[in-house]
Amino acid sequence: MVSREAVESLLGAATQLLGLQVAAGDVIREQSKVHYGQLLDAHMQVVGAIGSAVKRRHGERAEIVGNSQRQIVIIAAFIQGINIVECSISEGYYIQAAALIRQELEMIAALEELKKGERVDKKTPNVRHVPWSLATLYGDLSQATHAADHDVLQSILVPDKSSLPVDTTGVIMVQQFKDQLSWRLYGVHVALLIQLAVHLNDHHETVHGEGGGFDQIELQAVKNAQELMIDGGWLIAQP
């Protein structure tokens, strides 16, 4: 039988490890906020538009039109995860963030397939349907998600400014801030949120009729978010 002292020691170790991760996350969030720049404003505007549109339609019943029920289920699944995705990126859980953003990418792909009448149930959505060439990032996200690329994982987990002797190892068990990786992941998340807003607006137009989608303030917020990403160098304006 394990002694009470041993159990208490294990509980203490668990509390210490989790506490270190929480503390590291708080520090990384502040570093991330500074580095995100205009991405922060873009995120708040598009999430605000989505939240406002959802709130206005809260409790309403609408008849199913075409694929509207299949669309709104995917949209709701995406919306429920917004906070956990933002936290995973902004608090330095980059490997976990890659898995969540990969899922977001697949959700947008599924919505695009439904829009085009090409969706096949129980089949992984084809990310080539996702606008803005975001599908090109799918491979990198998958590499991190499946722990398939040692170099990718090592670049995240080896301590910063560490020069290890040959044939030795050293990794950290709490997060550390990676400025470019953080900025890139956050930008993908915001870009996918903008696309989600487009699909939510289309859904509302479908089930509530013309003019039943986003109001002018919500539409302007989504437009502002996209322009902020262009100004910040994340997206390229189309001619």
Q: pLDDT tens-digit profile of 8-53?
A: 999 999 999 999 999 999 999 999 999 999 999 999 999 999 999 9
Whether 156 shows a pLDDT value over 60: the answer reads yes
Nearest partner of 169 among 156, 177, 159, judged by Cα: 159
**pLDDT at residue number 127:** 86
pLDDT in tens, 80-96: 999 999 999 999 999 99
pLDDT in tens, 104-138: 999 999 999 999 998 988 888 888 888 887 877 77
Question: Could you tell me the pLDDT band of residue 69, with boundaries at 50, 70 and 90?
Answer: very high
Whether 72 shows a pLDDT value over 90: the answer reads yes
Whether 103 shows a pLDDT value over 90: the answer reads yes
Backbone dihedral region for residue 176 (phi beyond 0: left; psi -120 to 50: alpha; all else: beta): beta
Question: Could you tell me the pLDDT band of residue 152, with boundaries at 50, 70 and 90?
Answer: confident
Q: What mean pLDDT value characterizes the chain?
A: 88
Question: Could you tell me the pLDDT band of residue 146, with boundaries at 50, 70 and 90?
Answer: low
**pLDDT at residue number 57:** 86
Q: Which residues contact 204 (CB under 8 A, 6 or more apart)?
A: 53, 57, 212, 213, 214
All structural domains of the chain with their residue ranges:
23-58+65-231
**pLDDT at residue number 148:** 63
Nearest partner of 86 among 47, 122, 125, 116, judged by Cα: 47
Give the number of other Cβ atoms within 10 Å of residue 235's Cβ. Answer: 18
**pLDDT at residue number 106:** 93
**pLDDT at residue number 52:** 97
Q: DSSP letters of 114-177?
A: HHHT---TTS---GGGSTTTGGGGHHHHHHHHTT--HHHHHHHHSPTT--PPTT-----SS---
Task: Copy the structure tokens of residue 62.
Answer: 């609408």
State how far the Cα of 203 lies from the Cα of 24, in Å rounded to an integer.
40
Rounded average pLDDT over 171-200: 92
Cβ distance 181 to 156 under 8 Å? yes
Q: Which residues contact 22 (CB under 8 A, 6 or more apart)?
A: none
